[in-house]
A and B are shown apart, each in its own frame.
Chain A
Amino acid sequence: METPVAYECTAPAHQVGEGGPDKLTIHDGQWAFCPFDAKAGGHEWRPTGGVPLAMLRHTATARRTDPVEKRADQ
């Protein structure tokens, strides 16, 4: 079973653009996902409750490409 990701970055500036190749890091000893770049500064970490990495990747891609999803998140 895949280890869940405990945090995701919700910084507005990190919701757009492809960013760097590494999206995963560790925050407070647990896995954390930033849709822009795990090594970028200015993260705003929010607990996910523990979700699969694939779900976070999918949501991040949808946000970047689907304006409806973008609006729903705002």
Chain B
Amino acid sequence: MTRGRPDGDGVERSRPRILVVDDDDDVCEVLREALTDEGYAVATVPHGAAALELVKHHRPAVITCDLRMPIMDGWSFVDRYRKQAKPPASVILLSALKDVEENAKRLGAEGYVKKPFDLSDVVTKIERCLAQT
């Protein structure tokens, strides 16, 4: 659960915003809890189309994104997002695909973490992205 005073969509304004894009509710919930504990304001959406809609109104600092999702997958989302967002937030791919590293390079993502991941690895990657911005 997000602590502090939320804005209209439940995401607090004063802390770095992390957008989690993943169709697995359990993965979203674990990331939400862990990242909230780390002091981030976290929003989760189940597919790329919902993420594209959300970023029209709220600019995240970092986006973590699964690749295989219904409605709009991670490839399409990252491709479209990076074309329309000026400047785009850092994107970290979270996927069980064996070639996630190649996908991250091809999509221009700032990082990737293979599933099954350790939460500390995700936090570290997010911190690195934030340090570079």
Contact = CB atoms under 8 A, between A and B. Distances in A.
Q: Please say whether chains A and B are actual partners in one complex.
A: yes
Interface of A: 2-5, 21-27, 29, 31, 38-39, 53
A2 B100 CA distance: 14
14 contacts: A2-B116, A3-B118, A4-B116, A22-B23, A22-B24, A25-B24, A26-B26, A26-B27, A26-B29, A27-B26, A29-B30, A31-B115, A38-B24, A53-B96
A3 B23 CA distance: 21
Contacts of B118: 3
A37 to B, nearest CB: 11
A24 B115 contact: yes
A26 B96 contact: no
A53 B116 contact: yes
Contacts of A2: 114, 116
A5 B96 contact: no
Chain A contact surface mostly: loop
B68 A22 contact: yes
Contacts of B117: 3
Contacts of A21: 68
Interface in B27-57: 27, 29-30
B96 A25 contact: no
A31 B24 CA distance: 12
Contacts of B27: 25-26
Given A21-B68, A53-B96, A5 B26 contact: no
Contact of A3 (B24, B26, B68, B116): B116
Given A3-B116, A4-B116, A5-B116, A26 B24 contact: yes
Given A3-B118, A53-B116, 10 more contacts: A2-B114, A2-B116, A3-B116, A22-B24, A24-B96, A25-B26, A25-B27, A26-B26, A26-B27, A26-B29
A67 B19 CA distance: 45
A31 B68 contact: no
